[in-house]
Each structure stands twice: as structure tokens, then as C-alpha cells.
Amino acid sequence: MPKYSIAVDIGASTGRLILGYLEGGLLKLEGIHRFENKIVKKGDSFCWEADKLFQEIIIGLKKCTELGIKPDSIGIDTWAVDFVLLDENDQPLTEAVSYRDPRTDGMMEEVFNLFSKERLYLETGIQFQKFNTIYQLYSIKKNHPEILEKAKSFLMIPDYFNYLLTGKKANEYTNATSTQLVNAFTKNWDQQLLDVLGINREMFEEIKTPKTVLGNLSKELVSEIGFDLKVILPATHDTGSAVIAVPEEDESIYISSGTWSLIGVENYFPICITKALDYNFTNEGGIDYQYRFLKNIMGLWMIQEVKRNYNDEYSFAELVDLAREAKGFKAIVNVNNDRFLKPDNMIDEIMNYCIETGQSVPSTPGEVAKCIFESLSESYKEAVKEIEEIFEKKFKKINVIGGGCQNEMLNQLIADVTNKEVYAGPVEATAIGNIVTQLMALGEIENIKQARSIIKDSFEVRKYLPVQHIRS
């Protein structure tokens, strides 16, 4: 009997429960449950609906019973940096406030007054983004110190769900590194940094690594769902799980393409040199203490917002088709400009940018989409140049993984602007990375090398050659 593992993968726009198991040496996937995720306004804050998301996990597990499946394990991954704080009675003290909430405005600069930017990078190796946990916590410290005083547990979103499933508290390593509070060398909470910021070290849990079996479901949940299973820690940061599933590891740069674009390479040590800091690269902790040297840049969030602004009249695939048809149109926006992080209306923001920069202004859905895809590819080209400069070498291939790798126009654009071979797939990289990690913990897969070879054999990866290459 194969072992059945459930990956719970919750992204900024959708969540899913996917069942995975080995059959004849190949990894098989079956979708169990899909649900929407979105940011909602609660009082003055932009928040995730954490309890609703947890209920969706339970609904998904109950569906397993209906489908006659009895999974052996479950692993949860989500986006990074966000968290909840629990009080002494383990009750939430805070909403799961989203990283897009403006509470972190100006906080980065205040933290730098206490702990220099250079030292922060040298110790944590983490990219500077205004929404990192460190700035979120500092904003609470500054504006609501009473909350921090009462806080007894700090749990990141997947840690919180794991706690609700098992009653056990732990901070998973890959996600913990995204806080910018973990020392890249000791791989533990940076005591000195926490002291300087005046943040209570006691509320942080023990850091546990991927492949740890956290425990079983609580008794109440076993009776509600109808079966028990092991709760295993995957790389609970979704990017960590996605990068585990990169099949083209040799001489290859990966782009994990979803709401964000994460572009980088896998590494065995953190690179905290000045150039990496200047280019704002991160060294996030990965499975087996590998590091993801990457840059978090704008992703398909822009097209997600545009789709929403058009009242979901067009599907993603239709927007790609329309963009292809808008042949004569050309305008490039700087996708990494902060104005595109959370504009009131993405279409207006893009149009205004084009007016301000004296370019043609996109007026049809196809022109807007074309502008986004071409602008994204230009930003990837820039990041590739930076990676090659830091590593002082050329990479041959780019492996695009995640939902965005279904965008054939974007894949071809990436190949063309970087003049590299692009490999697109697997689409469900995050869930796959999550599942193989559970299967490693269960002894079904030996190590990450074997996991990647199974992934390569099991899923379609499409190849795109640069146009220059085809012509020559």
C-alpha cells in the first residue's frame, strides 16, 4: 500500500488540498478541495480570514472520508511573514493581519535607527521588504505595546494551523527565516536583535525543520473528521516547498511564478556580500539547511488585480490570448515600483504610469495584459543579470514553476529577453514539494535528489527556446 499525503497549499488568491502518492515510481496527484483566499478589511486593518481558511482545511479532510481516502499525513504551506500572537490562554490576541496592511509604513527606517541595515543583512541574510515580520512586530511594539506584553506565543500562519490541528506549537524553520529575525548562521532566533528591538524572546517557539513529524490530530478533530493522520512539517513557506520541486536544478535559475515572482538559485551557504544587499537578494532557509538565494519581485499579482478590475470577465488564459492579439502595442512599466503593490485600481495605475512616462497608454484588456507580461519579463531580465553578476558566471536555463508557468506568452518572452532556454513546469510545484517532503519523512522517498528525479519523470515540463536561437 502506498502512503497517501495531503498537501495544503494556500496562496494569496487560492488554497487547495492535493493528495499525493507514489505509484510505479511516479508521483500521482489528485485535487481534493479548492477554495478562495482573499484579504478583507477588519476594523482598520487588512487581514486574512485565518479561521475560515482553517475550516476549509477541515472541509477538505472530510471530503477525503467521502471519497474513501484515508491519508497518512498532512503538511501545510502558505505565504510567508504573517503571523498571529496568542495570549496565556492560547487565545488569539491579534487578527492574522496581512503583509499588505500599511501598518509597516516607515517601520523599516525606525528599525535601522536601532540596528544598522548592513548588520541586519549580515546576520540574517534576508531581503529588505517593508512587510517582513520584523517590521510588523516593531509596528505593534510601537503602536500597541500592550499586545506584545500579553503575547505568549508567536505562530506564523502555517504554525497556527498546525497548532489548531495538533495542539502543538512550533515555528517551522523555512518560514521562520522569512521573519528577518533568524540568524542565518546559527539558524536560530537572533537574541541580540530581539533584545535591541525590545521584542520578547519568550513568545517564540522552538524552531523545527521540514520533515519533522509534529504529531497527530487532536482527539476532538479525530472524532469530527473520522480518522487520524500525522501532521508533518513541509517547508511551510510556500516558496520553500516550490523550490524543492524544481526539476532542472543544474546550471539553472528558477522563477517561482505566482502572486509573486521569486527568482534565484539554490545555494549551500548564505551570501551576505554588499552587492547582494545592494541588489536586495535574500538568503531564505530551505530544506536540509540549503539556502534559497533569490529576489522577491512583482509577480502575477498585477494581472490578478486587472482580472478583478474587469469584474472577472476574462479568465487568465483569455487575457493571455488577448495580449497575444495586441501585437502593435508596446509600453513598459517598472513593475517593482511600490505604486503597484496595492493600488486602488491596477488598470488606472498602469495607465497613469504610461501617461507620466510619455508612453502609449494601454486601453484594451489585451494591451493592459501585454504591457504587464512584457514589463514582468524585463524585470526578470534585470534580476538574471544581477544573479550572473554576483555569481560571476552565466546560467544556461531558467525553470519557471507554479501557476504562472501556464502563461505561454510570458514563458516565450522570458526566453527571448534573457536569451536562455526556459523550462516551464510543474504547475503545482508548491504542493509537489510539500508532498515529497512528507513522503521523505514517511520513508517513502530517500532524499531530495531522488525526489527531484521522481518529479522530473512524473510531470510535464515544456521547453521554450529564445527566438534568436531558433533563427540562428
Span near ligand ATP by CB under 6 A; candidates 11-19, 106-114, 378-386, 433-441: 11-19
With CB under 5 to 8 Å by kind, the binding choice for 425 among ligand ATP, Mg ion, none is none
Nearest CA-CA partner of 248 in 421, 7, 45, 87: 421
**Number of residues binding to ligand ATP, judged by CB under 6 A:** 20
DSSP string over 5-47? EEEEEE-SSEEEEEEEEEETTEEEEEEEEEEE--EEEETTEEE
Where in 307-326 is the site for ligand ATP (CB under 6 A)? 316-317, 320
Query: Which of 400, 441 has the CB closer to ligand ATP?
Result: 400
Q: Least distance in Å: CB of 13 to ligand ATP?
A: 4
Told to check if 300 binds ligand ATP by CB under 6 A, we report yes
Where in 384-413 is the site for ligand ATP (CB under 6 A)? 402-404, 406-407
* Site pattern 227..246 for Mg ion (x: CB under 5 A): -----------x--------
Query: Which of 390, 461 has the CB closer to Mg ion?
Result: 461
Among 259, 290, 411, 438, binds ligand ATP (CB under 6 A): 259
Nearest CA-CA partner of 191 in 172, 175, 207: 207
Query: Which of 217, 303 has the CB closer to ligand ATP?
Result: 303
Told to check if 351 binds ligand ATP by CB under 6 A, we report no
Report phi then psi at 276, rounded to 5. Answer: -65, -35
**Placement of cell 490570448 in the chain:** 321
Distance CA 194, CA 177 (A): 14
Where in 422-461 is the site for Mg ion (CB under 5 A)? 430
Q: Which grid coordinates are listed for 144? A: 500597541
Q: Which grid coordinates are listed for 227? A: 480518522
Helix axes 408-418, 365-391, angle to 10 degrees: 40
Q: Least distance in Å: CB of 147 to ligand ATP?
A: 27
Q: Which grid coordinates are listed for 161? A: 494551523
190 catalytic residue (yes or no): no
Residues with Cβ < 8 Å from 134, sequence gap 6 or more?
A: 111, 179, 180, 181, 193, 197
Is residue 184 within 8 Å of residue 124, measured between CB atoms? yes
With CB under 5 to 8 Å by kind, the binding choice for 260 among ligand ATP, Mg ion, none is ligand ATP
Query: Following CA atoms 20, 23, 28, 33 in sequence, which dihedral angle do they give, to the nearest 10 degrees?
Result: -40
Residue from 190, 238, 312, 348 carrying the catalytic annotation: 238
With CB under 5 to 8 Å by kind, the binding choice for 131 among ligand ATP, Mg ion, none is none
Query: Which of 303, 347 has the CB closer to ligand ATP?
Result: 303
Among 8, 11, 131, 231, binds Mg ion (CB under 5 A): 11
Distance CA 266, CA 423 (A): 17
Told to check if 158 binds Mg ion by CB under 5 A, we report no
Active site residues: 238
Residues lying near ligand ATP in the complex (CB under 6 A) are found at 11-14, 79, 238, 258-260, 300, 303-304, 316-317, 320, 402-404, 406-407
